[in-house]
Structure 1
Amino acid sequence: MADLLITGGTVITMDPARRVIADGAVAVAGGKILAVGPRADVEAAHPAGERIDASGKAVLPGLIDGHAHAGHGLVKTMGSGDSEAWSEACRVIYTLASPPSFWRAEAALAGLECLKFGVTTSVMLLGGGDSIGRVDDPAHGDAHVEGIGAIGIRRIMVLGPTRPPFPRPYRGLDGTVREVSFEQQAETIGTLVERHHGKGRVTCATLMPVYREATHDPAKVREIEAQGRVIRDIGKRFGTLFHQDGHRGGSIELADRMFGLLGPGAWLSHCTDLTETDIDTLVRTGTSVVHNPSAIAAVRGHCPAIAMMERGVTVMIGSDGTAPDRSTDMFRHMFQAMRYHQRAARDETLLPPGKALEMVTIDAARGLGMADRIGSLETGKEADIITVDLSAPHMLPANMPVHRVVYFASGGDVRDVVVGGEVLMRDRLVPHVDEAAIAEAAGRETARMLAEAGLSDMVDEDPGWGRTRRRG
Structure 2
Amino acid sequence: MTITIYGVLAITMDESLETIDQCDIVIADDGRIQSVGPTDGAPRPADEMIDGTGLIAIPGLIDTHRHSWLEMFRGLTADLPVGGYRQLTKSGIAQRVHPDAVHLATLVGDLAAVDCGITTVADLAHIGRTADHLDASVQGHRDSGLRVVLAHTPANGDGENWYVNSERRHPADIAWLRTGALADDDALVVLAMGARPLHCVTPEVLQADVATARDLGLRLIYDGAGAATGGGPVRRRWSQPGHRTVAALAESGLLGPDMGFVHGNHLEDDELGMIADHGAGLSVASEVEMLCGYGLPVCGRDAVAGLRLALSTDVAAYADPSILTAMRTMLMLSRARPASSAYLTNREETTQVPAVAALRAGTIDGARFLGLQDRIGTLSPGRAADIVLIDRTGPRLAAVRDPAVAVVLFAQSEDVRHVMVQGRIVKRDGRLVEARRSDLVRRLVDAGSAVLAHGAKRAEDAPLWNF
Tell me which amino acid in the other structure corresponds to 2:316.
T
Give the direction of change, closer, same or farther, for the CA distance of 1:79–1:368 in structure 2 (3 Å limit). closer
- Measured in 1, the distance between the counterparts of 2:111 and 2:276 equals 36
Aligned partner of 2:40 in structure 1 is 40
Which shows bigger deviation, 91-100 or 238-247? 91-100
The yes-or-no answer on 1:137 pairing with 2:130 is yes
1:313-362 deviation line (CA, Å, top 9, x unaligned):
232111123232x2221111111111112222226743210111000111
Aligned partner of 2:220 in structure 1 is 242
Aligned partner of residue 97 in structure 2, secondary structure: coil
- Measured in 1, the distance between the counterparts of 2:80 and 2:447 equals 23
The yes-or-no answer on 1:320 pairing with 2:314 is yes
- Measured in 1, the distance between the counterparts of 2:337 and 2:159 equals 40
Aligned partner of 1:66 in structure 2 is 64
- Measured in 2, the distance between the counterparts of 1:420 and 1:257 equals 36
Number of residue pairs matched by the alignment:
427
Give the direction of change, closer, same or farther, for the CA distance of 1:35–1:110 in structure 2 (3 Å limit). same
TM-score by length of 1: 0.83
The yes-or-no answer on 1:186 pairing with 2:171 is yes
Aligned partner of residue 40 in structure 1, secondary structure: coil
Q: Retained in 2: the 8 A contact 1:74–1:106?
A: yes
Q: Retained in 2: the 8 A contact 1:374–1:382?
A: yes
Give the direction of change, closer, same or farther, for the CA distance of 1:348–1:334 in structure 2 (3 Å limit). farther
- Measured in 1, the distance between the counterparts of 2:394 and 2:459 equals 41
Give the direction of change, closer, same or farther, for the CA distance of 1:105–1:456 in structure 2 (3 Å limit). farther
- Measured in 2, the distance between the counterparts of 1:308 and 1:18 equals 30
Q: 2:281 aligns with which of 280, 284, 288?
A: 288
Give the direction of change, closer, same or farther, for the CA distance of 1:304–1:18 in structure 2 (3 Å limit). farther
What runs of 5+ residues in structure 2 fail to find an aligned partner? 227-237, 340-348, 461-467
Aligned partner of residue 286 in structure 1, secondary structure: coil
Aligned partner of residue 167 in structure 1, secondary structure: coil
1:410-454 deviation line (CA, Å, top 9, x unaligned):
222111011111111111223344111211220121111112323
Percent identity, aligned pairs only, is 23
Give the direction of change, closer, same or farther, for the CA distance of 1:93–1:203 in structure 2 (3 Å limit). farther
Q: Retained in 2: the 8 A contact 1:63–1:121?
A: yes
Aligned partner of 2:456 in structure 1 is 454
- Measured in 2, the distance between the counterparts of 1:90 and 1:386 equals 33
TM-score by length of 2: 0.84
Tell me which amino acid in the other structure corresponds to 1:232.
V
Deviation (angstroms), 1:198: 3.0
The yes-or-no answer on 1:111 pairing with 2:96 is no
Tell me which amino acid in the other structure corresponds to 1:58.
I
Aligned partner of 2:139 in structure 1 is 146
Aligned partner of 1:371 in structure 2 is 373
Give the direction of change, closer, same or farther, for the CA distance of 1:23–1:134 in structure 2 (3 Å limit). same
Aligned partner of 2:47 in structure 1 is 49
Deviation (angstroms), 1:235: 2.0
- Measured in 2, the distance between the counterparts of 1:305 and 1:259 equals 28
Aligned partner of 2:19 in structure 1 is 20
Which shows bigger deviation, 5-14 or 194-203? 194-203
1:28-54 deviation line (CA, Å, top 9, x unaligned):
00210011112235xx25311212222
- Measured in 2, the distance between the counterparts of 1:295 and 1:457 equals 18
What runs of 5+ residues in structure 1 fail to find an aligned partner? 127-132, 170-179, 214-219, 459-472
Aligned partner of 1:310 in structure 2 is 305
Aligned partner of 1:470 in structure 2 is none
- Measured in 1, the distance between the counterparts of 2:385 and 2:116 equals 17
1:112-167 deviation line (CA, Å, top 9, x unaligned):
010111100111111xxxxxx2233221121011112111010111112269x983
The yes-or-no answer on 1:156 pairing with 2:141 is no
Deviation (angstroms), 1:61: 0.7
Aligned partner of residue 103 in structure 1, secondary structure: helix
Give the direction of change, closer, same or farther, for the CA distance of 1:265–1:388 in structure 2 (3 Å limit). same
Which shows bigger deviation, 288-297 or 238-247? 288-297
Q: 1:362 aligns with which of 361, 364, 389?
A: 364
- Measured in 2, the distance between the counterparts of 1:373 and 1:82 equals 39
How much is the aligned-residue C-alpha RMSD, in angstroms? Answer: 2.8
